[in-house]
Structures are given as structure tokens and as C-alpha cells.
């Protein structure tokens, strides 16, 4: 019914930049919060950044000042601009959205399939 499709991951050198995108499609009513999480090998999934439909944002301390989250509400798309990347940013990055299905009122959490980001020289 609903798909979240991420793109933009890849291999980048330390200090470089990447831009991730995540587009939600399907029978969507409304989207509240969208965000990005990441999971490195052997570690738990952690929050990277969140953005509400009103544009309020929240960042993990480890990425503040380097990453910027934004969204295009008309296209149900969320972005993550990642600058000054470090090797410790290496992880699978997952898109997340809290949304309602069309004609329904309960919010449901959906996840994308993940995109690999590798920061290495």
C-alpha cells in the first residue's frame, strides 16, 4: 500500500558530501514526521534527524552542524544533506515516516529498505 524508496547512498571520502532522498508513495492520507535513522555493523539503529510537517527539526548530537534534513510536502519526499562526512558516519541509512493511509485516521510507522553510506579513503 505504501512504499518508501531511498536513493543517494554510496562511497565517499572523509570530508565529502552526499545527499539522500526518500520518496513515499501509495495510498497516503497525510504524513506527520519523516526522518532518517542509521545502523552501523554490530550497533543498534539510531536516530539521525527528524522533521515534522511544519518544518521543525531534531538532530542527533553527532551530526549537528554537518547534516541538514528537509522535506517537500507536495512530493512526500524527505532529504538528508550530509556534509563533512566522517568514517564513523558509515552505516545503512533508513528513511522513516509516520503517516495515515487514505481514508484512515490512525498513524502508522513505515520504513524504507535502507541505503548504504560508506565513508572511507
All three cell numbers of 7, joined, read 536513493
Q: What is the pLDDT of residues 59-91, one digit of tens each?
A: 999 999 999 999 999 999 999 999 999 999 999
Q: 1 pLDDT exceeds 90?
A: no
Residues with Cβ within 8 Å of 38's Cβ and at least 6 positions away in sequence, in order, are 45, 46, 48, 89, 91, 92, 93, 94, 117
The predicted-structure confidence for 94-120, as pLDDT tens digits, reads as follows 999 999 998 988 999 999 999 999 999
86 backbone dihedrals φ, ψ, rounded to 5°: -120, 155
Closest CA to 65 of 78, 82, 45: 82
pLDDT band at 23 (very low <50, low <70, confident <90, very high): very high
CA angle 17/22/23 to nearest 5° reads 145
DSSP structural state of residue 54: T
Predicted confidence (pLDDT) per residue in 29-44, tens digit: 999 999 999 999 999 9
**Does pLDDT of 6 surpass 90?**
yes
CA dist., res. 115 & res. 25, Å (int): 17
Amino acid at each position: 500500500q505504501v512504499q518508501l524508496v531511498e536513493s543517494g547512498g554510496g562511497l565517499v571520502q572523509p570530508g565529502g558530501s552526499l545527499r539522500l532522498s526518500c520518496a513515499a508513495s501509495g495510498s497516503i492520507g497525510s504524513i506527520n514526521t519523516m526522518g532518517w535513522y542509521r545502523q552501523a555493523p554490530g550497533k543498534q539503529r539510531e536516530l539521525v534527524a527528524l522533521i515534522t510537517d511544519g518544518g521543525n527539526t531534531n538532530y542527533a548530537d553527532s551530526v549537528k552542524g554537518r547534516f541538514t534534513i528537509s522535506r517537500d510536502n507536495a512530493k512526500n519526499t524527505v532529504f538528508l544533506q550530509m556534509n563533512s562526512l566522517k568514517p564513523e558516519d558509515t552505516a545503512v541509512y533508513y528513511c522513516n515516516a509516520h503517516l495515515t493511509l487514505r481514508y484512515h485516521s490512525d498513524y502508522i510507522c513505515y520504513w524504507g529498505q535502507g541505503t548504504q553510506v560508506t565513508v572511507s579513503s
